[in-house]
Amino acid sequence: MVEYTDLIEKKERIAVVGLGYVGLPLAVALAKKFAVIGLDLKKIRIEELQNNHDRNHEISAAEIAASGIEFGSDPEKI
């Protein structure tokens, strides 16, 4: 079991699966306090986010860059 203190101290990460209209803003909000990994099976989506581009225009490039989210498409990461 993951302890809350491990999340606060960023010893453990929170995974957000699906980085669309709901998932990406959620991941960015969580990343303000916790270490976050964002997972989406669409590799093109991951490439865009790694380049700080949100095609849905929900989150700015600056917010993505500042979030520190680790983006990936490999379920093994979580």
69, part of any domain: yes
> Per-residue pLDDT for 68 more than 90?
yes
- Residue 42: per-residue pLDDT: 95
Whether 8 is covered by a domain: the verdict is no
Q: pLDDT at position 6, please? A: 94
The answer to the question of residue 11 being in a domain is no
pTM of the model: 0.92
Domain membership of residue 60 as a residue range: 16-77
- CB distance 69 to 33 below 8 Å: no
Provide the number of structural domains found in the chain.
1
CA distances to 2, 16, 33, 64 from 5, in Å: 9, 19, 12, 25
What value does the mean pLDDT of the chain take?
A: 96
56 part of a folded domain: yes
Assess if residue 10 is contained within a domain: no
SS3 37: strand
Q: Does residue 32 lie in a domain region?
A: yes
Q: How far apart are CA 17 and CA 35, in angstroms?
A: 14
> Is residue 78 predicted with pLDDT exceeding 90?
no
pLDDT tens readout for residues 11-29: 999 999 999 999 999 999 9
Task: Specify if 6 maps to a domain.
Answer: no
pLDDT at residue number 77: 84
